């Protein structure tokens, strides 16, 4: 059965429980499969267990637990040297190079030994070309810097920069920020725009910063001088008023006031920006009374955070306020749908069902809308309204009885749905009525009475 593997271009491994096990390299990392269970496994023990489970007909593995004898299993290839791992424990690792086996507990340690044997691998190299920092900042300020890095290595690859500084103590030297890029071609440069986290804001002393590469073979140092704190603006309070619920796309007014927090004095002629969940709705200015009125609409249904924000000025501090608003899906213009049909028809007789679709507010007809018609839940069909909003559809009901006819308009974005019902009776013929009442025993009599025999 080894031919089974070669036909597929793979390698025969062994026969287990009458099944041929093959090894393929068409799967990343290599995989085993068999002519009994064509499921790929990276471990031959898993492939055997699959075969065993199929042979026994037990799929929970309870009768196919295979004792795993530890062995060296291929793990990966690093710089064209194969690395094995002691399976199933996951360590140590070994590789053969320099005429001998080398074994290490950790993969990175073994890879470092391979690097030492082969020599450094050519690749990208980060050189720090320029480092731009603010000349001076007040204590507590957010720090933003720029680093120009260049790939001076022989191949394309990622560039990484590190910023060291002294945020905790004056003689500190810790990494306060990092930056990295995607692949950069040899000789190409890239700017890193880096903002420190709040934990590393400007300290109460001069900030000594160094931009460097990973192994500190390329670096530039700069100092941000501690500056005086800017004057504090007058605290402000922004208020907001708006409906708690609106329809999607419905226009409504957001209004409120801007005042000095400590005195309550109004603040006229200042910008107010309105947004919902970070999406701008527009802006306006406070009037002579310190109030603002901004007409807006929200196109999306949902529950949103509506925010009014005063961005601040050198004189006044910024302020903002939020409230929750519920936006319901838009409901179209209400409509009226009528239905009309004969009150009585015969079994199987064709009759017309008709009606009209109009706007509730104006009574104007609504053309080109689909109307679905049914009786007792059974579909008759659908038809479009004409230019007068009228629909007509033929129908027939085979069996006697009283039926409810129903016309449905599903609605659109502009028009609301509507429904109408009517009853019709399908009456039996005199002969059918006589048979239904008297039964088959007197059917002959009914035939004589009605002159049908």
The domains found in the chain, sorted by start residue, are 2-118 (no CATH), 126-227 (2.60.40.10), 236-328 (2.60.40.10), 335-426 (2.60.40.10)
The region that residue 389 occupies, defined by phi over 0 for left and psi between -120 and 50 for alpha, beta otherwise, is left
Q: What local confidence, expressed as pLDDT, does residue 307 receive?
A: 95
Q: What local confidence, expressed as pLDDT, does residue 441 receive?
A: 46
Tokens of residue 95, six digits: 């590789």
The answer to whether 212 touches 164, Cβ cutoff 8 Å, is yes
Say how far apart CA 452 and CA 146 lie, in whole Å.
106
Cross-strand pairs, 261? none
Tokens of residue 16, six digits: 């287990």
Cross-strand pairs, 158? 183
> Does the structure show a pLDDT above 50 at 452?
no
Residue range 59-85, pLDDT digits in tens: 454 556 566 677 788 888 888 899 998
Non-local CB neighbours of 234 within 8 Å, separated by 6+ positions: 260, 261, 262, 315, 316, 317
Say how far apart CA 327 and CA 301 lie, in whole Å.
5
Say how far apart CA 110 and CA 116 lie, in whole Å.
10
Say how far apart CA 181 and CA 159 lie, in whole Å.
5
Confidence of residue 91 (pLDDT cuts 50, 70, 90): confident
Residue range 145-170, pLDDT digits in tens: 999 999 988 788 899 999 999 998 88
**What is the pLDDT averaged over residues 283-293?**
94
> Does the structure show a pLDDT above 50 at 453?
no
Give the predicted TM-score (pTM) of the model.
0.33
The answer to whether 361 touches 373, Cβ cutoff 8 Å, is no
Judged by DSSP in three states, 229 sits in coil
């Amino acid at each position: 059965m080894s031919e089974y593997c070669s036909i597929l271009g793979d390698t025969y491994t062994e026969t287990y429980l009458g099944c041929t096990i093959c090894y393929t390299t068409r799967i990343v990392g290599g995989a085993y499969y068999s002519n009994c269970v064509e499921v790929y496994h990276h471990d031959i023990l898993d492939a055997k267990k699959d075969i065993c489970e199929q042979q026994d007909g037990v799929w929970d593995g309870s009768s196919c637990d295979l004792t795993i004898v530890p062995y060296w299993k291929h793990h990966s290839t690093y710089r064209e040297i194969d690395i094995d791992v002691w399976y199933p424990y996951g360590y140590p690792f070994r590789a053969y190079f320099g005429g001998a086996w080398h074994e290490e507990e950790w993969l990175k340690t073994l890879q470092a030994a391979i690097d030492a044997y082969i020599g450094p691998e050519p690749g990208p190299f980060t050189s720090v070309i320029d480092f731009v920092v603010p000349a001076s900042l007040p204590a507590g300020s957010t720090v933003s810097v720029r680093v120009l890095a260049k790939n001076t290595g022989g191949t394309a690859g990622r560039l990484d920069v590190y910023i060291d500084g002294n945020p905790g103590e004056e003689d500190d030297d810790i990494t306060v920020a990092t930056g990295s890029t995607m692949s950069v071609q040899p000789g190409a440069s890239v700017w890193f725009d880096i903002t420190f986290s709040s934990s590393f804001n400007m300290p109460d002393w001069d900030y000594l910063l160094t931009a460097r590469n990973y192994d500190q073979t390329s670096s530039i140092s700069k100092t941000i001088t501690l500056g005086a704190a800017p004057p504090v603006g007058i605290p402000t309070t922004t208020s907001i008023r708006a409906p708690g619920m609106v329809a999607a796309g419905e226009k409504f007014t957001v209004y409120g006031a801007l005042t000095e927090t400590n005195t309550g004095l109004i603040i006229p002629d200042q910008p107010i920006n309105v947004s919902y969940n970070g999406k701008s709705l527009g802006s306006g200015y406070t009037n002579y009374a310190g109030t603002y009125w901004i007409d807006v609409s929200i196109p999306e249904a949902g529950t949103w955070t509506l925010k009014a924000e005063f961005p601040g000025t050198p004189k006044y501090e910024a302020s903002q306020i939020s409230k929750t608003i519920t936006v319901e899906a838009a409901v179209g213009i209400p409509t009226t749908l009528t239905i009309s049909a004969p009150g009585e028809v015969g079994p199987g007789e064709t009759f017309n069902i008709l009606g009209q679709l109009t706007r509730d507010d104006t009574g104007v007809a609504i053309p080109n809308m689909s109307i679905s018609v049914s009786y007792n839940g059974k579909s008759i069909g659908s038809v479009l309204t004409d230019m007068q909003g009228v629909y007509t559809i033929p129908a027939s009901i085979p069996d006697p009885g009283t039926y409810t006819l129903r016309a449905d308009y599903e609605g659109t974005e502009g028009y609301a749905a509507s429904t109408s019902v009517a009853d019709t009776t399908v009456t039996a013929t005199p002969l059918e009525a006589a048979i239904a009442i008297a039964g088959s025993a007197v059917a002959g009599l009914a035939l004589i009475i009605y002159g049908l025999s």
